[in-house]
Structure 1
């Protein structure tokens, strides 16, 4: 493999396998994103990535919202797990999701919260086939960057969704199950099985070739890396010591993730009661491991530039999952209707903190990957939040929103930014569109572009 042929689109190939590469010094840097001052000084450009993470049922706002504005604020209890990354995050308050309100449509706040979170559109109240919301912010970006990467976007998830049925006061299950919408009547179903995501990212060729590759790996206990060994040896001969080290670290991360997915599937198969239920397909039963495996897949997809746009809801809105691993046996949704009961509010705080602990895990992973002298977190913009503020009140103003990452040097972190009441959440996405190099005249119910 000649040096000049090593680009971001170079793949290491084997039977039913195509392993993308991370950014290497031997590669020319190309991107559709605007050139930042730092990148210009280095003579190179790195692509920007954007991700949208969602949590259902609101949060305990008293333990989420900082008391001080600007840079001199203390992280409240729920956000304390993010302390190591304080200078990479901004807490945004005052943002509103008006289209999640009833606006004459009656109950159904959970369905509206999730479906409007990235669309800024009032979902049609129906549990039939005539669903309608709007194109989501992730898909607005993905459509305009579709030629840049192998996958225009990835839709990941933790809880399985439904595309039909009545899930919330006359609203289709599609609304409370889907964060990403390709078009107003077309939600993008999320993939919750880590093995399926892994195979999608690193599979290649015909369906028969991919199936043969999977079957052979399962039968012989081989790694996907074994199928590209020849290409790896050829590539390494063309690389300097630094690139070889980076490649070894990347391969180690791929193999570690592969082993974790296999261990998870083996444990599930071993414990499944054969006569009473089908063999599980590979979705972890332990939510912490499930979230972290999905985060690792997200980081690998960004690291290899397979996509620059990802969505990952931690649960469907209205989810009543218990969190027994942290001592919370009651359902999340039930607890969110706390009625100011101190015990229930404390348990909601525990769930909220558990979620930000997983967020801290993601930030650590992104910070550990270096690209062109910057971390992957520096080259990303990540929105985390909920379409409901207080789960008991079901209000959609003053939402809990975080913006993380450096945006290629375009975003200053370490601030609590307070916006005027009723500022549309869509104004934030308008700002992200500009920074991604895909500006819009308007989006959803936007009234302008948020100043960051």
Structure 2
């Protein structure tokens, strides 16, 4: 059947689709394809993503000084030095309920994006709806997927100090008592973004299904858009190839049942063996989801709280789990390895920033139309310190966020340094305005370049 260019019918949009047999693939932002007879959309939408890593940082390595091109960054932030004009270093923000909790890990992690009290009653799972899921519930209907909730390590069902490790495995919560389903398999994320919802097999390339349609599109677009379309399609092909390689190598999502159709519920897989490839692939899928406008909201847990991840893949890190390196007792050798894990986490954030910065959306980069948040629930991981959190912002929020600077709230008083004030401000910018969220009704001052 001949493919056709299909335009979204719900509202005027410059978002277009390539269509093939059983596949509809949305295009990136192309200036050449403006709707005739209708006013074009004002510009690309805003996106929000949060990248979480567990167990905090070594405080002596986490600092920033100055602003703009002359900003200086501490050793943890080494990978972000080329991007210092694209970030905002946030000092002093905290979650009061986490700080007050008597549970040093599970009372201080699942509420990172809600500021809510974590129930310490073993019989009651309760925390708070996280800000990303508030966004998903309010504006998620605008896209095919309300949000992406991704991770690298699986949910854990064991108890820790009498509390369920579902707390330590879940950053995003759809309600106070229900964590959002976290997806750790890249192939499933890929299917959700670009696959046939009726179950089209991955061994039939999506690009093959829409190739004829993309050829028909070429005469209608400018030279610059042709290059952009080519790069976009190549990025999808690259992800398909990497997923296929992972399957053949039995890495990441590569485990498959021995039967073509399983005759029992699929058992839990082993933890990913190639952690860097797994993380990079998940970040590429976030980029793809934003570029295709399949969702505008994403979170990714690089590891769980109380993580069992082994960082032996990093040069100079030997024989210890991430949690053990965190609780290092200030031993020099262990602290040096802990710094390497911290640097690795922030390098993932730098990778995401660079990817979004490289994608053009009609004179603006995808990064300029995004708000990225990086952080951990603890500051000093060794002492379970929750008096502040190591937080960074990146992206320009559609021009509203002035980057290349430090916002310091450490001495502003507890009522003026709540992380939920940041979340209220971010939700405002994303188009969701609440009177109150978590433990505050105040917005974060001096965040935006102009009122929103």
TM-score normalised by structure 1 residue count: 0.87
Distance in 1 separating the partners of 2:51 and 2:136: 16
Does residue 235 in structure 1 map to residue 211 in structure 2?
A: no
| Superposed counterparts of 1:95-134, under 5 Å | 95-103=93-101, 106=102, 108-128=103-123, 130-134=124-128
Distance of aligned partners of 1:340 and 1:284 in 2 relative to their CA distance in 1, 3 Å threshold? closer
Q: Report if the CA contact (8 A) 2:86-2:404 is conserved.
A: yes
Displacement of 1:299 in angstroms is 0.4
Partner deviation per Cα, 1:424-445 (whole Å, 9 max, x = no partner): 1111111111211212111111
| Superposed counterparts of 1:7-406, under 5 Å | 7-28=13-34, 44-66=42-64, 68=65, 73-103=71-101, 106=102, 108-128=103-123, 130-162=124-156, 164-166=157-159, 168-206=160-198, 210=199, 213-214=200-201, 217-218=202-203, 222-268=204-250, 284-326=272-314, 327-329=316-318, 330-406=320-396
Displacement of 1:123 in angstroms is 1.3
Alignment partner of 2:183: what SS? Answer: coil
Partner deviation per Cα, 1:382-433 (whole Å, 9 max, x = no partner): 1100110101111111211001111111011111211025311111111111
Displacement of 1:7 in angstroms is 4.4
Q: Pick from 397, 401, 412: which aligns with 1:411? A: 401
Alignment partner of 1:110: what SS? Answer: coil
Partner deviation per Cα, 1:180-217 (whole Å, 9 max, x = no partner): 111111110211111111011112343xxx2xx31xx5
Q: Report if the CA contact (8 A) 1:50-1:310 is conserved.
A: yes
Distance of aligned partners of 1:269 and 1:185 in 2 relative to their CA distance in 1, 3 Å threshold? closer
Larger CA deviation: 432-441 vs 287-296: 432-441
Q: Report if the CA contact (8 A) 1:284-1:290 is conserved.
A: yes
Partner deviation per Cα, 1:139-189 (whole Å, 9 max, x = no partner): 111222123111110101111113x441x3122121110111111111102
Distance of aligned partners of 1:78 and 1:173 in 2 relative to their CA distance in 1, 3 Å threshold? same
Partner deviation per Cα, 1:64-97 (whole Å, 9 max, x = no partner): 122x365554111111211111111011011112
Distance in 2 separating the partners of 1:28 and 1:318: 50
Distance of aligned partners of 1:102 and 1:43 in 2 relative to their CA distance in 1, 3 Å threshold? closer
Distance of aligned partners of 1:227 and 1:279 in 2 relative to their CA distance in 1, 3 Å threshold? farther
Alignment partner of 1:361: what SS? Answer: helix
Structure 1: 5+ residue runs without aligned partners? Answer: 30-41
Distance of aligned partners of 1:260 and 1:46 in 2 relative to their CA distance in 1, 3 Å threshold? same
Distance of aligned partners of 1:263 and 1:429 in 2 relative to their CA distance in 1, 3 Å threshold? same
Distance in 2 separating the partners of 1:165 and 1:102: 24
**Structure (1 or 2) with the greater helix fraction:** 1
Match of 1:33 in 2: none
Alignment partner of 1:19: what SS? Answer: strand
Displacement of 1:109 in angstroms is 2.3
Distance of aligned partners of 1:280 and 1:238 in 2 relative to their CA distance in 1, 3 Å threshold? farther
Match of 2:261 in 1: none
Distance of aligned partners of 1:410 and 1:280 in 2 relative to their CA distance in 1, 3 Å threshold? same
Distance in 1 separating the partners of 2:271 and 2:106: 24
Displacement of 1:126 in angstroms is 3.7
Distance in 2 separating the partners of 1:21 and 1:142: 22
Distance in 2 separating the partners of 1:355 and 1:328: 14
Alignment partner of 2:56: what SS? Answer: coil
Q: Report if the CA contact (8 A) 1:89-1:404 is conserved.
A: yes
Displacement of 1:102 in angstroms is 4.5
Distance in 1 separating the partners of 2:100 and 2:213: 57
Displacement of 1:308 in angstroms is 0.6
Alignment partner of 2:111: what SS? Answer: helix
Q: Report if the CA contact (8 A) 2:48-2:370 is conserved.
A: yes
